Amino acid sequence: MFGKFWRLCTAGMAATVLAGCAIIPGGDDYRPDAGPVVQQSAPRQAGRLQSNGQHLVAILVPLSGENGDVGQSIANAANMALLDTGAENLRLTTYDTSGGAGAAASAAIRDGNRLILGPLRRDNVGAVLAQARPAGVPLITFSNDTTVARDDVFVMGHVPEQSVARSARFAIDQGAQNFAVLAPRGDYGQKALVSLENTVRSNGGNVVAVERYDRGNTSILSAADRLNTAGGFDTVLIADGADLAERAASRLKRAGQRLPSVIGTELWSGEGSLTEDAALRGAWFSAVSDDRWRQFAESYRQRYDARPYRIATLGYDAVLLTLRLARDWQVGDDLPTRLLTAQDGFLGLDGAIRFMPDGVGERAMEVRQVGNGTFTVVDPAPTQF
C-alpha cells in the first residue's frame, strides 16, 4: 500500500507541488494571514449534500478567532490537494468550529459526510466525537495529543513524544548512557520527560537527574544550575523551544569541562536562531523532513499570495490519505477503519505515517544536528516502516 500511495501522490502533484513548488498558535514557522479559504459549493437535497457518486468528507477547523488563521491555512492546503490531484471522487466541505465544534460536527453529520478531517484542537475532539460516533463516522484529527486517540479517532499531528524518543535512540547509538532532563512544568514537559525515560531505560541507559521549571521567567536558568550541581550525566534533554534552550545551554557547561551532548524537541524545527548559538553546536533534535514542505510552501504562496503555517501540510496529507482510502471504500458506505491501520502506512508531504490500532499516528522522523549557521540531517527519516 505504501508504494502505491506514493505513486498516487507523485502522479497528481508532480506538476504543481513536488516538481514546482502542538503548540497552536506558536509552533508554526509563520504568522501572516494564510489567505482566503477555498470553499466548496455544496448542492443540497432534503438537508443533505448530494454525493453525485463522490465520497463526502468534512474538514472541521476554526476559521476565525485565536486559531482562525491556522485553520484557514489547513483548509486552503486541503483544497490545494484536491486541485493538485484533479480528484473528482471526493467532495470536501469545510465547517467552521469557531462557533462550537459540536455544532460544526452536527452539521457535517447531518449533511451526510462519512469522514471528518479535524478538529484542530484536542479540547474539541470530545464534542465532535459525540456527534460522529453514533453515526459511525471516524475522525482524523490534526491534534498531536495522543490522549484523544481511539479506534475511531486517529491522531495525525506531529507527536512530541515521538520526536524525543527518536533523538534519544540516536544519542544512545552515538554512545550516550546517562541522561538528564530540563523540562517545563505542565503537560508538554511531562510528556517529553516520560518519553525520554521510557526510551532510555528500554535501551539500557539511565536517567540520572531531572529538573522542572516554570516558563516565562528565569526558572530554567536555576534548573540548569541545579543539574550542573547534581552532575553525572553525559547528555541532557532540553524540552522547550529555541529561546529557552539557548538560555539554558550555556549554563550547562562547567568551568573547564566539555558541554554535555544536548537533544531538543520538534519545537526546534525551523528555529534558525539555534544555529547562531555556539553552546548548542552539535545538538540534535528530530522532526519530520522539511524537503517537501519547502516545495509545498512555495506552491501555496503562489496560489494564495501568503505563506502557510507549517501545520498546513496536515490538511494536504489528510486529503491525499483519503484519496488512497477511497480506492477500497464504497461511496455511501461507512469507512472501514481497518484501511487506516495498514501496517506499511502512507506517504505524504511530511513523509511516512502509519496509524496504530489505538489511533496514534506513528511518523518517520529525521535527526538534525545544529551547526554554525545551518542544520544538517545526520540520520534521514526512514522512507517506509
Percent of the chain with pLDDT over 90: 78
pLDDT over threshold 60, residue 189: yes
pLDDT the model gives residue 270: 87
Q: How far is it, in rounded angstroms, from Cα 146 to Cα 358?
A: 9
Residues whose CB falls within 8 Å of the CB of residue 255, separated by 6 or more in sequence, listed in order? none
pLDDT the model gives residue 42: 39
Whether residues 245 and 297 share a domain: the answer is no
Whether residues 127 and 183 share a domain: the answer is no
pLDDT over threshold 50, residue 187: yes
Q: Would 194 be classed as within a structural domain? A: yes
In the structure grid, which three cell numbers stand for residue 170, read together? 540516536
- Containing 13, the helix (H) or strand (E) segment is helix 2-13
Whether residues 174 and 259 share a domain: the answer is yes
Q: Where are the beta strands (DSSP E) in the chain?
A: 44-45, 48-49, 55-61, 90-96, 115-117, 139-141, 153-155, 178-184, 206-213, 235-238, 261-263, 284-287, 346-348, 351-355, 361-363, 366-370, 375-379
Whether residues 170 and 298 share a domain: the answer is no
Q: How far is it, in rounded angstroms, from Cα 119 to Cα 317?
A: 15
Whether residues 173 and 89 share a domain: the answer is no
pLDDT over threshold 70, residue 326: yes
- Render pLDDT for 291-322 as a digit per residue (tens, 0 to 9): 999 999 999 999 999 999 999 999 999 999 99
Residue 155 bridge partners (DSSP): 141, 360
Percent of the chain with pLDDT over 70: 85
pLDDT over threshold 70, residue 25: no
Whether residues 87 and 178 share a domain: the answer is no
- Render pLDDT for 47-91 as a digit per residue (tens, 0 to 9): 566 567 899 999 999 999 999 999 999 999 999 999 999 999 999
Q: Would 372 be classed as within a structural domain? A: no
- Render pLDDT for 227-256 as a digit per residue (tens, 0 to 9): 989 999 999 999 999 999 999 998 886 544
Q: What is the pTM of this model?
A: 0.85
Q: Would 369 be classed as within a structural domain? A: no
pLDDT level of residue 43 (50, 70, 90 thresholds): very low
pLDDT the model gives residue 45: 41
Q: Are 159 and 363 in contact (CB under 8 A)?
A: yes
Q: Would 334 be classed as within a structural domain? A: yes
Whether residues 57 and 130 share a domain: the answer is yes
Last residue of a domain, one of 271, 287, 303: 287
pLDDT mean over 144-173:
97
pLDDT the model gives residue 53: 84
In this structure, what CATH number is given to the domain that contains residue 317?
Answer: 3.40.50.2300
Count of domains in the chain?
Answer: 2
Question: What does the DSSP 8-state code read for residue 65?
Answer: S
Whether residues 190 and 337 share a domain: the answer is no
pLDDT the model gives residue 50: 57
Q: Would 278 be classed as within a structural domain? A: yes
Whether residues 232 and 308 share a domain: the answer is no
In the structure grid, which three cell numbers stand for residue 332, read together? 455511501
pLDDT mean over 329-335:
92
Q: Are 270 and 285 in contact (CB under 8 A)?
A: no
Q: Is residue 64 left, alpha or beta, with left meaning phi > 0 and alpha meaning psi from -120 to 50?
A: beta
pLDDT mean over 222-230:
93
Whether residues 192 and 243 share a domain: the answer is yes
Number of Cβ atoms within 10 Å of the Cβ of 329? 18
Whether residues 30 and 91 share a domain: the answer is yes
Q: Would 383 be classed as within a structural domain? A: no
Q: Are 228 and 236 in contact (CB under 8 A)?
A: no
Last residue of a domain, one of 241, 272, 287: 287
Q: Are 145 and 162 in contact (CB under 8 A)?
A: no
pLDDT the model gives residue 312: 98
Q: Are 78 and 92 in contact (CB under 8 A)?
A: yes
Last residue of a domain, one of 249, 269, 287: 287
pLDDT over threshold 70, residue 36: no
309: domain range? 2-158+290-364
Q: Would 219 be classed as within a structural domain? A: yes
Report which of 345, 350, 346, 336 is spatially closest to residue 151, judged by C-alpha positions: 336
Q: Would 76 be classed as within a structural domain? A: yes
Whether residues 110 and 188 share a domain: the answer is no
Q: Mean pLDDT score of the chain, rounded to an integer?
A: 87
